[in-house]
Amino acid sequence: MKKVISVFVIMVMVLSLVACGGSGGDETDSSSNTDSATDATTDTTATDDTSSEDAAASGDDNTLTVWCWDPAFNINAMEKAEAIYQQENPDFKLNIVETPWEDLQTKLTTAASSGQLDTLPDIFLMQDNAFQKNVISFPDVFVDLTNMDGIDFSQFAPAKAGFSSVDGKNYGVPFDNGAAIAAYRTDVLEEAGYSLDDFTDITWDEYLEMGKDILAKTGKPLLSGLAGESDVIVMMLQSAGGSFFDENGDPFIVGNEVLETVAEQYLELVEAGVLIEVNDWDQYIASFNNGTVAGTINGAWIMASIQAAEDQAGNWGITNLPKLEGLSAATNYSTQGGSSWAVTTNSDNPELAADFLGRTFGGSVEFYEQILPTGALSTYLPAADSDAYTVPSDFFGGQEVFALITDYAGRIPQSNTGVYFYEARDAVATAITTSVHGGDLQSELQVAQDTLSFAMGR
């Protein structure tokens, strides 16, 4: 990959990432929440003005400045981590600056492209699918955490750690669990003569056939998705370790066996009516909250939206994804969404930052027990052994869903997201959307490859 990128391409990258930052697709509800922080008892600064004195790295031996978004999810987790670390380091403090994802990406790009790294904090949160792009584009910003004391990357789900790894080096400490789940209305399955076990460890072909039968018997499709988006497509692709890029980072859309299998499967699901497309995120959430569809497939964070329909408590179950037929690398596991923590080279004390992250996000089961009620599931594998992760969920039919999903996270195959992941994702989504409406799939995939090549300057 080229490490020197023209100003034009940098601005294209910024616009692309900003456009994705607030969506309900690759970003979770927590990722797009930009409400102001309200807890006056903490050191949280409810501003994203990085020109202020406390927005850059603290320069204090015991204080670290952190940029992240969403008070209820990410900021809450940082506050809990601060309290855990203070148990052995009472003088330690965090200055948490609420910074919406879109603003964070813009500020990072501006600082790196202008050489003004002194505007950056000690630690910031980075969306997983943007992590490699930023490390490769701005290598001078990120501290290599691979051999930092206190961080054992083998204790994280490999696929999750892979999002923030470049050339075998770790630049991020994994945070929230984006492991994908298949959730079903078990009462609807039973009405059609099926159970959750019938949908466990299955293939997409089996899913399609059962979905047709359920649609005929109940009038309910199994799945919904956003028209023109690629969330389901990406989950299917990543479940077999597939990518939009080859090992050299070049566009790999045409002739990509895994991607072609995914596209054909998706088109079959839509044609059969087993998957219905909706126009926006609100309609997507409503489709399973109001019973239009009998299930959903997404990152584990979607459970919060599922549980918004309180009248459906006890009528939902969770299992793994269908896998692609005929591919040796196919699995029933994938990922969607999630973020990781980075340490910047502007930090005066990167060792403290790494130790803090390693002993909390990367080493404390107690920490993950405390943030579990917010829906912040861990990719730190030892947390799965906690009693908190084995508490049955009444909403999901008594299943131990937290332990189940943590187990899924450890089974996700690694996938090369690439520097231009968002551009590739959007180009392929356009190709498949056009194919849904009658376009020739192979021709549209060629258009997608040409579009991606142009964006990459190839």
End of a domain among 362, 385, 408? 385
The answer to whether residue 401 sits within a structural domain is: no
pLDDT band at 55 (very low <50, low <70, confident <90, very high): low
Q: Note whether 37 and 97 are same-domain residues.
A: yes
Cβ partners under 8 Å of residue 308, min gap 6: 285, 289
d(CA 312, CA 286): 13
Q: How many CB atoms lie within 10 A of CB 12?
A: 16
Q: Note whether 311 and 442 are same-domain residues.
A: yes
Q: Note whether 340 and 375 are same-domain residues.
A: yes
Highest mean pLDDT among 27-41, 60-74, 326-340: 326-340
CA 241 to chain centre: 15
Does pLDDT of 329 surpass 70? yes
Each residue of 240-252: pLDDT tens digit?
A: 999 999 988 899 9
C-alpha dist (Å) from residue 9 to 6, 370, 416: 5, 42, 21
pLDDT band at 26 (very low <50, low <70, confident <90, very high): very low
Beta-strand ranges (E) seen in 160-271 are: 165-166, 169-170, 173-174, 180-185, 223-226
Q: Note whether 78 and 187 are same-domain residues.
A: no
Q: Note whether 174 and 203 are same-domain residues.
A: no
Torsion on CA atoms 154, 300, 75, 165, rounded to nearest 10: 30
Report residue 219 as tokens: 């009038």
CATH classification of the domain holding 344 = 3.40.190.10
Beta-strand ranges (E) seen in 172-220 are: 173-174, 180-185
Least confident of 15-24, 44-53, 146-155, 402-411: 15-24
Each residue of 226-243: pLDDT tens digit?
A: 998 889 999 999 999 999
Report residue 275 as tokens: 């998957």
Q: How many CB atoms lie within 10 A of CB 348?
A: 14
Give the sign of the dihedral formed by CA 295, CA 180, CA 133, CA 252. Answer: negative
The answer to whether residue 279 sits within a structural domain is: yes
pTM for the whole thing? Answer: 0.73
Q: Which run of H or of E encompasses 98?
A: strand 93-98
Q: Note whether 76 and 212 are same-domain residues.
A: no
Domain of 238, in residue numbers: 180-334+416-455
Q: Note whether 184 and 298 are same-domain residues.
A: yes
The answer to whether residue 398 sits within a structural domain is: no
CA-nearest of 359, 362, 429 to 156 is: 362
d(CA 272, CA 265): 11
Q: Note whether 25 and 51 are same-domain residues.
A: yes
Asked whether 441 and 264 are in contact (CB, 8 A), the reply is: yes
The answer to whether residue 390 sits within a structural domain is: no
Output the pLDDT for position 35: 33
Percent of the chain residues past pLDDT 70, beyond the cut: 87
Q: Note whether 164 and 20 are same-domain residues.
A: yes
The answer to whether residue 87 sits within a structural domain is: yes
Does pLDDT of 425 surpass 80? yes
CA-nearest of 420, 409, 416 to 160 is: 409
Cβ burial, residue 158 (10 Å; 0-12/13-18/19+): middle
Report residue 255 as tokens: 């002739």
Q: How many domains does the chain have?
A: 2
Does pLDDT of 434 surpass 50? yes
The answer to whether residue 393 sits within a structural domain is: no
Asked whether 338 and 154 are in contact (CB, 8 A), the reply is: no
The answer to whether residue 400 sits within a structural domain is: no
Q: Note whether 36 and 108 are same-domain residues.
A: yes
Each residue of 344-373: pLDDT tens digit?
A: 999 999 999 999 999 999 999 999 999 887
Q: Note whether 156 and 105 are same-domain residues.
A: yes
Q: Note whether 239 and 306 are same-domain residues.
A: yes
Q: Please, which residues bridge with residue 224 across strands?
A: 276
Each residue of 191-218: pLDDT tens digit?
A: 999 999 999 999 999 999 999 999 999 9
The answer to whether residue 395 sits within a structural domain is: no
